[in-house]
Every structure is written in C-alpha cells, then in structure tokens.
Amino acid sequence: MRLKIDYNNMMRHALGDEEGLDFNEFEEHKELLELAYSKVMDNKGKGWQEWTALPFTQQEVIKDILDTAQKYADYDNVVVFGIGGSALGTIAVANALLHLKHNELPKSVRKSPRLYVEDNIDPERMRALLDIIDVKKTVFNVITKSGTTSETLAQFMIIQDILKRQLGEKAKDNIIIITTMGKGTLYDIAVKEGYKVFGIGGGVGGRFSVFSPVGLVPLALVGIDIKALLDGAREMSEACFAPDFAQNPALCTAFLQYMSMRRGKSISVMMPYADSLKYMADFYCQLWGESLGKAIDNNNNLVNVGQTPVKALGVTDQHSQIQLYTEGPYDKVVTFLAVENFRNTVQMPTLDASETEFLQNKTLNELINCERLATEYALTKAKRPNFTIILPEVNAHTIGELLQYFMYQTAYCGALLDINTYNQPGVEEGKQATFAMMGRKNYENKLEEIKSIQKDERFIIKNQKLL
Amino acid sequence: MRLKIDYNNMMRHALGDEEGLDFNEFEEHKELLELAYSKVMDNKGKGWQEWTALPFTQQEVIKDILDTAQKYADYDNVVVFGIGGSALGTIAVANALLHLKHNELPKSVRKSPRLYVEDNIDPERMRALLDIIDVKKTVFNVITKSGTTSETLAQFMIIQDILKRQLGEKAKDNIIIITTMGKGTLYDIAVKEGYKVFGIGGGVGGRFSVFSPVGLVPLALVGIDIKALLDGAREMSEACFAPDFAQNPALCTAFLQYMSMRRGKSISVMMPYADSLKYMADFYCQLWGESLGKAIDNNNNLVNVGQTPVKALGVTDQHSQIQLYTEGPYDKVVTFLAVENFRNTVQMPTLDASETEFLQNKTLNELINCERLATEYALTKAKRPNFTIILPEVNAHTIGELLQYFMYQTAYCGALLDINTYNQPGVEEGKQATFAMMGRKNYENKLEEIKSIQKDERFIIKNQKLL
C-alpha cells in the first residue's frame, strides 16, 4: 500500500497515561481482535460483505462501463440522481480527482462532461440545475439500489417527463439506470422504456457500493481512471488482511477507535488537509455513522453505540473548530488526512513588510503542511488523541486505497462492537411517516397517529413583539 | 420577527420525563437566567459586544459600501481572501440569497459578479481559481481583522504580485482591504499602496463580524440587499431583548441547550432542510464551537465545556446520519431549519407505475417538508430532543434575523456557562508552532521543542507487505 498511517499520537508516550493507549492493549484484547478479524476475513465476498469482492471481480462490467462512457464522452453534462450511498462515493472521488473547478473550465480544457451529483430534493436546487444545463446534452444517471427510493424516484419522474417532451423517443439515450437487476419500480420502468441498466449486487449495501457500478459508472462518465481506482482498492484490501493487528491499517485503527469509544471518545473528527479530500470526510461520515450507530448488538442487548462523525477541513477549520477540540471536553479522536505532494506548487513572492518575512519565497504547500503538523502538535500537547493517514499524492490509486481502508476499518469496528454493521433500522420510522404524510395508501393509521400529536403553544415563539 | 421557533420537542410532554425538560425549569433557574440576561443586555455595544450595535449604526459605512459596489458592478468576479469569521458569514448569506448555481449562470442572467470565497491555502485550490478567473476583471477582497493572519497574508502576497505584473499601477483598483484601521501589516501596506480600506471595530470579533464591512462589503459587491439584511438583524435584536425568557428566542434556546449540556447532550446538530441554508450550519458551527468550547470559566475553574456542533443537511443526511441520531447514544440536540415557502415549485408528473402513486402530481416542496416533519416525528418518538426554527421564506430579511439570532443565542449561552464567549486561547499553540516550522524569527526554541518529539516506528503503518 502507498498510504501510511501514523498513530503515535494515540499512545501513552505522546498523550500520557490518562489519555494515551498502551501498546499492551493489543495483547490484552487479543481474543476480541482475533474474533473480529476472523468475522470479517471468513466472510469475504459473502452476505453483506459482497463489497469486499468488488475490486477483484467485475472485469466484464468494467468493459461495459468504459464502452458506455465512450459513448457519452461528447455530452455536456453528467447528472447523478441518487442520495446517500448512491451519491457520496462519486462526490468524494470526483472532487479528489477532477480539477477543483472542473465544471467552470471550458470544455477544451476539462475534456470530459461537467458533473452534478444531485443528492437532495430541494425544489430551488432542481430549478437551479435546470437553469444551467441543456437536458438534451445531458446524461442522467439515476441510482437507487432498491429501485424505490422516494427522493430518487421523484427526481427521475421530473426529468423523464422533461426529456420526453424535449426529445420524444430519443429520450431514452439520455438516461442510465443503476439498480438491482430484476427488482423494484425503477427496474420495471427501465425495461419498459429500454433504458441502459447496470446492476448492483444484492449483498452490496449502499454505503459500501462505491466500487460497484454505483460509483464506477458516473466516475467513468467524467473520465476518471476507474481501473487505477480499483487497483488501489485491491492493494489496500490485501493490506487489511494482515494478521499482525498493530500493523493492519484497518483493524488497528478500528481497534484504536473502539478502545477510545470505551473511554468516552464519542466523537470522531475527520479532518483532511487538502481541498481535494474535503468530501472524503462526507463519505467517512456516512459510513461510520450509519454503520456503527446502532441501538442493539448481535445478542439483542440494548447498547445505543456509535461514535458521531464530524467533518472538518484543514486549515480552514483551525479558525472554527480547533479552539473547541483543544480546550473543550475530552470526547474526540481526530483523524487527519495528509497529502505529502500536492499536484502543483504555489510560491509566495518577496514583499517589503517585515511581518511577512517568514512567508516570503516559501510555498503554500509548505504552509498548509506546517499548519497540519502544528495542529497535530498542539492537539497532542493538549492530550487530544489523533492519528494521521498520509497520502503520498492524491491520485486514482491512493484514493482507491483510502476508500477501501475506510470500508474495512468500519467493518472491523462493527465486528469489535459486535453489532450489525450493514443494516439501518433507525431510518424506517421516518420513511413510514413520510409515506403517511404524502398520502400513500395503507399508511392511514400512521397518518392518524401523527395528526394526533398536540403542540403546546407555550413552546412556540412567534410574532415576538418589539419593545 | 418573522422567524418562528417551535421547541415542543425539547419538553416532557413530547419526550417523556427522562429526556424531556420541564417548563418549571425556567422558574427554577430564574436567577441564573436573569444574570445571563443582564450580562448580555447591560453590555450591549460595549467591549466585545460591539457586534450588537452593528445593525443600528453604520449609516455612513453603508453608503460607502454601496458606492463601492456600484463601482465594481461590471467586474466579472469577486474573490474573498479570508478565513474563519472573515469568510463564513459571506458564504452563508451568499449561498442563501444568490441563485444556487450563481457562478455558472451567464452574466446576463446573474447580473452581478461571480463570487469565490477562498478560505483555505491549498495550492491546488489557488491554482484552480487562477485557472478560471481573469484577474484583471476581478476584485480581490482581502479580509483580516488583525491584519496579520498568515493564511490571508499569503494569499494577498500571491495575488498582489500577479496583479502588479499584469496591471502595473492600476493593480490597486482591483484590491479592497478590510482590516482594523491604523493597525497591522495589511493596513500599512494598504496605505502605502493606496488600496481602498474598510475598517472593523476593535470590539467586533471575527465570528461576530458578518454585519460589519467583513460581510457587508463582499455581499454588496455581488448585489445582495444588505439594508434588508440589517433590517432583519435589527428586528431579531429587539426580539432577543424580551424579558419573558421562555419567549425570548435566543435566551430560551440558549437555556434549552445549556440544560441539555448539563444532561450529557454534548453534541449540537444543525440540520437545515434547504440547500440554500446549507452554509448557515457552517456559520453556526464556528460561532457555537469557538465561542463555547472553553477550558476555563470566568472564575478560572477548569471546566472544559462546549457542545460540539455538527452540520447536517436535510433530506440528504437522512440517508447518512439519521440512523445514528435515532439509535446511537443519547448525546445530541438537533436544531432543524425549516422553510415554509420555497422560491419556486417543482411538480412531479403522472407516471404509469403504482409504486410512485403517492408522488404523482405532488411537489418537491411538499416532499421535502413532509420528510422534515417525518424526521422530527421519528426523532421525537425515539426520545431525541430537537427544535425547529421556521423561516417563512428565505430572503435578506429572514437571513438577517437568523444570523442575529445565532449570535444572541451564543452570547446568552456563554453567559449561562459563565465563560469568555469572545476569546480563543486554544488556537495560540498551533499558531506558534506554525511560525516555528515556517522558520519565523524568535521561534527557534519552539522549533527545538517540536523537533525533539520522537516518533515510535511501531506506531507507523507503511509498506504493508502483501500476502
């Protein structure tokens, strides 16, 4: 693997006895670690761990994806309609690997379509999108594993209608569906209308689907090297098979987080020091939050576990969150994402002002990395546990590694916590309530229940009179 | 005020005895509330509370700002160089009030310059910006209260150099400085070079500066109605003077958060249900995190207080964070931002697919608001405290109200916690370390200290061998 992980600042020698972890804890929890290790390793490619197989298979699918991307290379725009796991991987990778202002570059420079990942149903956002794209020159990538996600169906209905009105029969060339083959509303519509469809394996959960067509199709459509991405994922997979737990990147850091949770570190901050990695934090936040935030464990004990993931961005959030991280409650572990070599260098000139002397003829590259090391130093000095994932450079290979690392880390941490990493029962109640309020059939009782809730007017502040 | 705040779901009748707050607690803590109230009220406009006066004064400054904006109306781009409080207000307001794809609209439609708020020093980001703008048609708004912020000075040095090379003497027309008058490196340079300068009052802290020229200048430059913004701020100010604490929007919700913190709610989630309000969460996160995250109280007791602010976006994060919020630890208070009337309506068409029947002929407007209410319902049912701030519509007036509400809420909460709301001592160590590593004079000892830290190679994972 090309990534490097430095967890010195989780340990006693850096943080002191009270806040630091002891290296012996790996030995003391050997049994637990072995159990978690075998739980993940013995089920590679099976059940909900189908995601672990993705970087190793899919040769045929990849050929199909690349052929499809070729066909759409001249389109102006790629629009993804999808939400949660159907959007976050694409956003994270595209932001890392495309020019940071890709959509604003002239076509001759960007050489691939613009990309819009529309993961919300705000009417103002839909209108804004339609204001700036020519739908006739846009391929819409509609992604929902179940084929029934309300938000994605709503977006699909709107755009299909517009396309048909503008393009008639030809509308079907502008839609690509990614869903479970042979199942769900969207699949049925796709077959009827003759849309191109890519499948998602039944055992690939949304938040673990970035290396399935869910991520690969839109990323290939904007020209990203998906083969190199998968190379990286494969290489990281193999590193995550290492039986030396203290040197297994995913199991080791999962264990550090697990031990930290047990010591009251209820918050996991993900803080990349690179704008290109900003949305890696969003990817991590979904994966970590939705996978590990669970009410019951595998033995049905009520546990209400889960670290709350928080996204931050270096150096920006030094001017927003570091005050709290340094002086507030001792309830956080901070993960830094570091980049050794940026893809370009920007130098500060000389200037006749003595206060700026330390900046003159230095580079922004030096400044951002010094600030990262300084923040790491300051947090450690304040006894706040932190570790750093170092990318030698941001490229398709290292990004593939990073995503796969996040997924294995989550899988191992779920195994350590002995919970179901792959379900999300907590979102059901809200879905039902939405159906009820939208007037869906068979939800009349739920609607009654919701309507029966009484609001106390004392607890509503409005029309506050002026003095 | 036009905003409405519904805090039913913080109370016992909604959450039950264990998780809910009792209305009597306002009475029981009357003394504390009165103290906090008078601490804020008695110092309006004084010391670090100079921000409270901003919406009521500044007539002359506003004239100057509007005249300046007029002068730059034909420029292609406004670029803000600033970080933390010098950026977040502008980002939040601009995102709320400009078209959601403002920068991608043709000039004839957007009618004002594009806006880029550059609040990081990533070299790839700086390069990307320079790739898409013509600096000759760009006004650079350089903002640092102290006039010495390293990141902003670095950006300034780079752009001044480029401008001078491209425009020579005329470069000065493309730079506007906002800093403390008569103080700091940047002020000195501005005077020497003849740049236009706007001042920031000495008692206006960065995170409370959105209604000073820090926010007003860039916002006016892109055509936002700053007078209406200030109207809203004034109206909310007066609501926040209300002596009936349970009906004072800022003091009431500050108290609810304060009581929640005392009961272990260490996390404050800000979850707007509107893309236009997405960056209001970032504004809030800085304000709440940096103001309330403090090691010591006003009596020098070690307290390590502070709720960790978390940003989320509805409905998007229902597919990312709601699982955790519903089933994970009971450690959160969720604040929803709701919009009653969006600025446009998007309707779903009919479709021959029974599964989509509940969506047909409905609007995205209904769907997003039903999902918000459904999430509120589901969280409340799971006994997770939450309250909702309702904007009748997103416009300059309501945004002015919202920002001012956030600032008063923070001021009151700091008073309840009896801490210094306005300092940030926790960021000093990192600043010093950055100076040291960048080779600044007089930081040699700090550099020695940093260099003396030993890394244990056992705690670095690299070159993981493949199996």
Q: Which of A123, A274, A453 sits opposite B344 (nearest CB)?
A: A123
Please report, for chain A, the start and end positions of each structural domain, with discontinuous segments joined by +. 4-42+230-417, 74-222, 426-450
A247-272: b (≥16 Cβ within 10 Å) or e? bbbbbbbbbbbbbbbeeebbbbbbbb
Q: Which amino acid makes up residue B455?
A: K
Scanning every residue of chain B, which has its alpha carbon at the shortest distance from the alpha carbon of A256? B459
Is this model's pTM higher than 0.95 or not?
Answer: yes
Q: Confidence class of residue B173 from pLDDT cuts 50, 70 and 90?
A: very high
Q: Which amino acid is at B410?
A: T
> Which neighbouring-strand residues pair with B116?
B79
**For domain A4-42+230-417, which architecture applies?**
3-Layer(aba) Sandwich (3.40)
pLDDT in tens, A4-56: 999 999 999 999 999 999 999 999 999 999 999 999 999 999 999 999 999 99
Length of chain B: 467
Q: Is A443 helix (H, G, I), strand (E, B) or coil?
A: coil
Q: Do A438 and B366 touch (CB under 8 A)?
A: yes
**Distance, in angstroms, between B342 CA and closest chain A CA?**
7
**B456: closest CA among A276, A360, A387?**
A387
| pLDDT tens per residue across span A97-115 | 999 999 999 999 999 999 9
Residues comprising chain A, all counted: 467
**Contact, B364 vs A123, CB < 8 A?**
yes
Q: A173 burial class (0-12, 13-18, 19+ CB within 10 angstroms)?
A: middle
Give backbone dihedrals phi and psi of B183, rounded to 5 degrees, phi first. -145, 140
DSSP string of B93-142, one letter each residue: HHHHHS-TTGGGS-HHHH-S-EEEEE----HHHHHHHHHH--GGGEEEEE
Q: Is B303 on the interface with A (CB under 8 A)?
A: no
- CA nearest to B324 within chain A: A293
Per-residue pLDDT tens over the stretch B74-88:
999 999 999 999 999
Q: What is the pLDDT of residues B161-172, one digit of tens each?
A: 999 999 999 999
- Assess whether pLDDT exceeds 80 at residue B465: no
Please give the sequence-ordered ranges of beta strands (E in DSSP) within B200-298, or none if there are none: 267-272, 294-296
Angle between helices A185-193 and A150-167 (to 10 degrees): 20
- Which two three-digit tokens encode residue B234? 């004034």
pLDDT at B15 (0 to 100)? 97
Which DSSP category does A363 fall into? Answer: B
Superfamily of domain B4-43+230-417: Glucose-6-phosphate isomerase like protein; domain 1 (3.40.50.10490)
Please provide residue A74's backbone torsions phi and psi, each rounded to the nearest 5 degrees. Answer: -90, -5
Cβ atoms of B457 and A353 within 8 Å: the answer is no
- C-alpha to C-alpha distance for A207 and A423, rounded to whole angstroms: 10
Parallel/antiparallel/unpaired status of strands A267-272 and A332-341: parallel
Contacts 24+ apart (CB under 8 A), A193-198: A193/A160, A196/A68, A198/A61, A198/A64, A198/A65
Q: Do B8 and A285 lie within an 8 Å CB cutoff?
A: no
Predicted local distance difference test score (pLDDT) of residue A466: 52
Residue B427 has pLDDT above 60, yes or no: yes
Between chains, do B290 and A321 touch, taking CB under 8 Å as contact? Answer: yes
CA Rg, chain B, in Å?
Answer: 24
Asked if the model's pLDDT at residue B259 lies above 50, the reply is yes
Percent of chain B with pLDDT over 70: 99
Residue among B137, B355, B66 at smallest CA distance from A440: B355
Q: What value does the mean pLDDT take over residues B417-432?
A: 97
Residue B214: is the preceding peptide bond cis (ω within 30°)?
no
Give the pLDDT confidence of B263-297 residue by residue, as tens digits: 999 999 999 999 999 999 999 999 999 999 999 99
Of the candidates A430, A426, A422, A427, the residue with the CA atom closest to the CA atom of residue A298? A422
| Main-chain phi, psi angles of A463, to 5 degrees | 45, 35
Whether A426 contacts chain B with CB within 8 A: yes
Distance, in angstroms, between A146 CA and closest chain B CA?
A: 12
pLDDT band at B310 (very low <50, low <70, confident <90, very high): very high
Q: Residue B26 and residue B228: Cα distance in Å, rounded?
A: 34
Report the b/e string of A60-91 with b at 16+ CB within 10 A.
Answer: ebbeebeebbeebeebebbbbbbbbbbbbbbb
Angle at A124 between CA B408 and CA B390, to 5 degrees: 30
Q: How far apart are CA A70 and CA A148, in angstroms?
A: 29
Three-class secondary structure of residue A308 per DSSP: strand
Cβ(B350)–Cβ(B361) below 8 Å: yes
Closest CA to A450 of A463, A438, A436: A436
Identify the pLDDT of residue B464.
Answer: 66
Strand order in the sheet with A460-461: A460-461, B4-6, B386-393, B332-341, B267-272, B308-311
- Are residues A326 and B13, on separate chains, in Cβ contact within 8 Å? no
Rounded-to-integer distance, Cα A448 and Cα A437, Å: 10
Contacts of A90 in chain B (CB under 8 A): none
Q: Are strands A386-393 and B308-311 parallel, antiparallel or unpaired?
A: unpaired
Could you say which of 3.40.50.10490, 3.40.50.300, 3.30.70.260, 2.40.30.10 is the CATH number of the domain covering A74-222?
3.40.50.10490
Interface test with B, best of A2, A292, A319 (most B CBs within 10 A): A319
Question: What's the whole-number mean pLDDT along residues B435-441?
Answer: 96
For A150-172, how does the pLDDT look when each residue is reduced to its tens digit (9 = 90+)? 999 999 999 999 999 999 999 99
Same fold, B4-43+230-417 and B74-222: yes
Spatial distance between the Cα atoms of A90 and A92, rounded to a whole number of angstroms: 5
Q: B65: how many CB neighbours lie within 10 A of its CB?
A: 21
> In this structure, is the dihedral angle defined by the CA atoms of residues A202, A203, A205 and A209, taken in order, positive or negative?
negative
Mean pLDDT of chain B: 97
Tell me the average pLDDT across A415-419.
98
Q: What is the ipTM of this complex?
A: 0.98
- Closest alpha carbon to B374 in B310, B314, B331: B314
Q: Is A222 exposed, middle or buried (0-12, 13-18, 19+ CB in 10 A)?
A: buried
Mean of per-residue pLDDT scores for chain A = 97
Chain pair A-B, CB pairs under 8 angstroms: 500
A285 part of contact set with chain B, CB < 8 Å: yes
Q: Which of A234, A320, A348, A455 to mutate to test the interface with B (most CBs of B within 10 A)?
A: A320
CB B276 within 8 A of CB B96: yes
CB atoms within 10 A of CB B21: 20
- Do residues A120 and B316 make contact, with C-beta atoms less than 8 angstroms apart? yes
Distance from CA of A215 to the nearest CA of B (A): 16
**pLDDT for A174-206, tens place per residue?**
999 999 999 999 999 999 999 999 999 999 999
190-209 of B, contacting A, C-beta below 8 A: 206
Question: Which residues contact residue B30 at a Cβ distance below 8 angstroms, ignoring those fewer than 6 apart?
Answer: none
Residue A256: band (very low, low, confident or very high) from pLDDT cuts 50, 70, 90: very high
What is the pLDDT, as a whole number, of residue B463? Answer: 78
Which of A290, A294, A397, A401 is an active site residue?
A290
pLDDT band (50, 70, 90) for residue A352: confident
**A431 annotated active-site:** yes
Q: Could you read off the pLDDT of B216-236 as tens digits, one per residue?
A: 999 999 999 999 999 999 999
B467: confidence class by pLDDT, cuts 50, 70, 90: very low
DSSP letters for A15-83? H-TTTSBPTHHHHHTHHHHHHHHHHHHTTTTSGGGGGGGGGGS-HHHHHHHHHHHHHTTT-SEEEEE--
Are the beta carbons of A344 and B434 separated by less than 8 Å?
no
Give exposure, B390-414, as e/b (b: 16+ Cβ within 10 Å): bbeebbbbbbbbbbbbbbbbbbbbb
From the list B326, B256, B258, B374, the residue with the least C-alpha distance to A308 is: B326
pLDDT in the model for residue A463: 79
Whether A389 has a pLDDT exceeding 80, the answer reads yes
In chain A, how long is the greatest CA-to-CA distance?
Answer: 75
Of A4, A63, A137, A431, the active-site residue reads A431
Nearest to A97 by CA among A222, A202, A270: A222
Residue B83 main-chain phi, psi, to 5 deg: -145, 150
Distances (CA, A) of B338 to B37, B256, B271, B445: 27, 19, 9, 52
Chain A residues close to B109, C-beta within 8 Å:
131
**A169 φ/ψ sector (left φ>0, alpha ψ -120 to 50, else beta):** alpha
Q: Is the pLDDT of residue B466 over 90?
A: no
